[in-house]
Structure 1
């Protein structure tokens, strides 16, 4: 590619040589651009790996070194409250309650951040996940909140999908928990998880409720980490739940959105791959070499 083509002889051969040399120069430029792009990608991959290592180190520190001081603050404040209850006035009791609540909220925030950072890095093995019993487990884990809210939970027959069961459980739990939490004060919660098969080989899910709903102006904001539409006094939480749901769904190759045609309440739709379609595609790719060998 780096040897110039010089034309000699008749005019048509010189013209042909000139064209070939022009092609050679374009190929050289494309190869140089490709090499530069590949080098840049290698540098970015190295930098990304370094950032991932730092993130894992941060997760370790957050899960160990930061949790212990917070537990100590909360436990000693409560111990002080119990041992000196008679000497503390209402203002002192209130201050201690503020300190304990702040430590507990910080612990919840750290745990949610750790869960958010682990998506795609920990428990990343895809298996066949039957969503029917998984949703039952999620509903059982939220049974106290469901009972206190007098919520009615229903769902369509749920399929089996490829994915990580831990992350899909987190997805369903956050969506169901939000549907129970953001309920209307005028009526008991009625929550339904529906599903239908799409033509593109995906399942279309929808978690719908009759709660307070989401303003269309905030349909994108609700999936951004730490973005809250309500004060902590109105609704508890860290503002990570729906951001975590978005990350889990996108990691599994799907999409999530707010359906504003649903009223009253909220309807959040998300897609997951069809297990049967993926199995057929995998089987087809595995048998392709056999067919080629047979044809040969």
Structure 2
């Protein structure tokens, strides 16, 4: 099993730079110096008392005190040696073992199980570390299996996209073209009912082609033409309006915008985002000529865009439904389309790390859509 090793740990600062073993040495030496200084001071006091010429009984007591001090000093030395051995064997050595084992895991050997037998606190800590390691490895293996399944599914999706863009559309083109040829050749023999049936057949074939193309666009988000670079959103809007030039001219629509920033994303997909939103504003227009306004403002580390129009608007209760694929609020004969445009817009925005929503609190007629995109990093 191989996983990229973790980055090296941050180096400690301040007093934390001193290893635990040196802390024990410093504290032990300080205690030994204080004890020795105390014994020396007591010995000096004893000599001063003896120089004063005390009684014989006092001399005996002073001799016994000397012996007690020597025994105390020897006991302190023996205790310090034993304590140092115990600390080294029970604390410092297991800590070093656990540190080495954890370092081995952090270096990439995620199958190694950290374990120390003593003391009880370090044994419990090693057990918790091992449980955490096992949970991470299990989650990683599950994620690897899911990633492999996702890669397989994406491969199948790419194969389906190829088939849909070539093999599925060819029969539809033949159905539409030959049905139209049938109408042209035998026009004088067809009654109104027959012409109506032919119209239904041709219209169904064309709608199926449009649906297949929209599904292909939806499946390509994040897979094709999605290299993220610094993109001028104003230029993306201009490219979208160039694609919609015929619709804008036919409906007398007026599309205006404020200063638009540079963002991080795919120019092709951002152009498609603007194109779909402006096209929706033109399609769902009211009796007045369409008026569309695109603006942007900085919100924390993101740019929040808005697209407002003076069309028929959207009721607040449908604010979530309109972003579902194939969901339509109006009959197809009133407003044409496949019902995938806003779902595609939301997928593009979410792929770029933002979110898209209907602003139900916007003032004025029509609808206002808002979405966020990551800033390029050089905008103030």
TM-score by length of 2: 0.67
Q: Which protein has the larger Cα radius of gyration, Structure 1 or Structure 2?
A: 2
Shift of 1:168: 0.6
Residue equivalent to 1:264? 365
Is 2:117 aligned against 1:5? yes
Shift of 1:124: 1.6
Is 2:309 aligned against 1:209? yes
Q: Contact 1:108–1:238 (CA<8 Å) still a contact in 2? A: yes
Shift of 1:134: 2.6
Residue equivalent to 2:145? 43
Q: Contact 2:276–2:341 (CA<8 Å) still a contact in 1? A: yes
Q: Contact 1:201–1:277 (CA<8 Å) still a contact in 2? A: no
Residue equivalent to 1:234? 334
Shift of 1:21: 2.2
Gaps of 5+ in 1: 7-16, 281-296
Cα 1:190–1:88 shift into 2, 3 Å: same
Residue equivalent to 1:115? 217
Residue equivalent to 1:160? 262
Shift of 1:4: 5.8
Instruction: Show the 5 A alignment for 1:9-88.
Output: 17-88=119-190
Q: 1-side partners of 2:128 and 2:291: how far apart?
A: 65
Residue equivalent to 2:230? 128
Cα 1:135–1:27 shift into 2, 3 Å: closer
Q: 2-side partners of 1:257 and 1:24: how far apart?
A: 48
Shift of 1:3: 5.2
Shift of 1:277: 4.2
Cα 1:33–1:79 shift into 2, 3 Å: same
Q: 2-side partners of 1:34 and 1:145: how far apart?
A: 54
Gaps of 5+ in 2: 1-112
Displacement over 4 Å in runs of 4+: 1-4
Is 2:307 aligned against 1:195? no
Residue equivalent to 2:90? none
Residues 31-83 of structure 1: per-residue CA shift (max 9 Å, x gap): 22222222111111111111111111111110011010000000000100111
Aligned with residue 141 of structure 1, among 224, 229, 243:
243
Residue equivalent to 2:344? 244
- Greater shift, 128-137 or 48-57, is seen at 128-137
- Greater shift, 61-70 or 35-44, is seen at 35-44
Residue equivalent to 1:290? none
Residues 243-296 of structure 1: per-residue CA shift (max 9 Å, x gap): 110011111111111011223100001111222348x9xxxxxxxxxxxxxxxx
Shift of 1:160: 2.1
Q: Give SS of 2:124's match.
A: helix
CA root-mean-square deviation: 1.7
Q: 1-side partners of 2:307 and 2:116: how far apart?
A: 66
Aligned with residue 219 of structure 1, among 299, 308, 319:
319
Q: Which is bigger in relative contact order (C-alpha 8 A, separation at least 6)?
A: 1
Q: Contact 2:116–2:122 (CA<8 Å) still a contact in 1? A: no
Shift of 1:111: 0.3
TM-score by length of 1: 0.86
Q: Contact 2:114–2:129 (CA<8 Å) still a contact in 1? A: no
